[in-house]
Amino acid sequence: MTTIIIQPIFESWRDAARDLLRHRVPPEEVLWSDGTQGKPLFGSDRPEESATPGPAPRVPPAFLDMARTAAAHQDPRRWAFLYRVLWRLTHGGEKHLLLLATDPDLRQVRQWCKTIGRDIHKMHAFVRFRLVGTDEATGREQFVAWFEPEHRIVRLASSFFEKRFVGMDWSILTPYECVHWDGASLFFTPGVSRESAPDSDALDDLWRTYYANIFNPARLKIQAMQSEMPKKYWKNLPEASLIAGLISDSRKRVQAMLETAARPVKPVPKNAYLESLHKMNEEAADSSD
């Protein structure tokens, strides 16, 4: 049995896995440890040198994409699952494995990918930038956001922000890693605590005004809202403080609508354009009779 100690990042797993494959070490002989569960009791961190290493086998790019994504998940079993899938694809002779949606190993890895994909998507959606100032030299506006992703997705999620918010300086702070953009490059720094990020923005009030007024009280679907915007995100969303009030007032508001007397139809005002429309409609009705 070989114990492999890696950093909890994809690149570290990939280097180790490549080495193991070249030495043809089967998955059942490897224990993976990424330092997040404490030190293993025994074992070495290198495969035994007795075998002559072969060339690293090639794998489909789709596997690397999948592995990179799954690696961001917090589940400690991910390294072993990924190596087992990799082994089966290469030495195991199951080249078609990625097409087998019903395979339990693949199913589990895909499940992690899905969770990560969703976490990234929600980060793209729910990050809220707050204006903190303007750079005196460049005149660029500077924004800071605070976000708490469930998994280690900051690097995977960053290119979206890089392509979108080019014309402003910004930082996204999270508990384990931060990302920054200064107009020229993207860079990463260690995580910080909540207090490092601003609490509000002058525009938050206008945004809440919009949120409250785009809501239609006549069609309450609280479940549908919560399944897409789970409560765990609410504490960092400026609009979320309105939700309870909007829900509790809705019935009263609809009742008021239903009790409002119907408005009579007002006479058509004199307007040349309206007359031309009505004439066109009459002609169309005549010709279709």
Partner 1 sequence: MELNRKLEILADAAKYDASCASSAAAKKDSRGSTGVGSTGGAGICHSYTPDGRCVSLLKVLLTNTCIYDCHYCINRRSSNVQRARFTPEEVVQLTLDFYKRNYIEGLFLSSGIIRSADHTMELVIEVARKLRVEHRFRGYIHLKTIPEASPALIELAGRYADRISINIELPSEKSLLTLAPEKNLARTQEAMGHIRNKIDERYAEKTKSGAPKPPPFATGQSTQMIVGADDSTDSVILRRADTLYTGYKLRRVYYSGFSPIPEPSSLLPIQAPPLVREHRLYQADWLLRFYGFQVDEITTDSAPNLDLALDPKLSWALRNRDLFPVDVNKAPRESLLRIPGLGVRNTDRIIQARRFTRLRLADLILLRLSMKKLLPFIIAADHTPTLLGLDGDALRSRFLPPPKQMELDFDTPKPAPEDFKSVLSGEI
Q: Which of residues 17-56 bind partner 1 (CB under 8 A)?
A: none
Interacting stretch for partner 1, rule CB under 8 A, among 40-48, 50-58, 186-194, 268-276?
268-276
Three-class SS state of 260: coil
State the burial class of residue 3 (Cβ atoms within 10 Å of its Cβ: 0-12, 13-18, 19+).
middle
Distance CA 59, CA 177 (A): 30
**Pair 63, 10: CB distance under 8 Å:** no
Interacting stretch for partner 1, rule CB under 8 A, among 36-44, 58-66, 173-181, 267-275?
267-275
Could you tell me the smallest distance in angstroms from the CB atom of residue 181 to partner 1?
11
**Pair 81, 105: CB distance under 8 Å:** yes
Could you tell me the smallest distance in angstroms from the CB atom of residue 41 to partner 1?
35
Three-class SS state of 166: coil
Could you tell me the smallest distance in angstroms from the CB atom of residue 67 to partner 1?
20
Query: Residue 3: phi, psi to the nearest 5?
Result: -100, 125
Which of 100, 79, 75, 78 has its CA nearest to residue 89? Answer: 100
Interacting stretch for partner 1, rule CB under 8 A, among 12-20, 33-41, 83-91, 256-264?
256-264
Cα Rg, the chain, nearest whole Å: 29
Nearer to partner 1, 18 or 215 (CB): 215
In the list 38, 61, 93, 269, the residue contacting partner 1 (rule: CB under 8 A) is: 269
Nearer to partner 1, 43 or 183 (CB): 183
Nearer to partner 1, 56 or 99 (CB): 99
For 150, how many CA atoms within 13 A lie in the half-sphere containing its CB?
15
Could you tell me the smallest distance in angstroms from the CB atom of residue 269 to partner 1?
7
Nearer to partner 1, 52 or 213 (CB): 213
Query: How far does Cα 226 stand from its chain's mean position?
Result: 17
In the list 13, 32, 79, 143, the residue contacting partner 1 (rule: CB under 8 A) is: 143
Find the binding residues for partner 1 in span 188-247 (CB under 8 A): 201, 203, 205-207, 209-225, 227-229, 237, 239, 243, 246-247
Helix (H) or strand (E) holding 123: helix 104-126
Q: Strands 186-190 and 177-181, how do they pair? A: antiparallel
In the list 5, 9, 80, 131, the residue contacting partner 1 (rule: CB under 8 A) is: 131
Asked if 173 touches partner 1 (CB under 8 A), the answer is no
Could you tell me the smallest distance in angstroms from the CB atom of residue 72 to partner 1?
19
Asked if 281 touches partner 1 (CB under 8 A), the answer is yes
Distance CA 178, CA 181 (A): 10
Total residue length of the chain: 289
Distance CA 65, CA 68 (A): 5
Could you tell me the smallest distance in angstroms from the CB atom of residue 176 to partner 1?
20
Could you tell me the smallest distance in angstroms from the CB atom of residue 112 to partner 1?
15
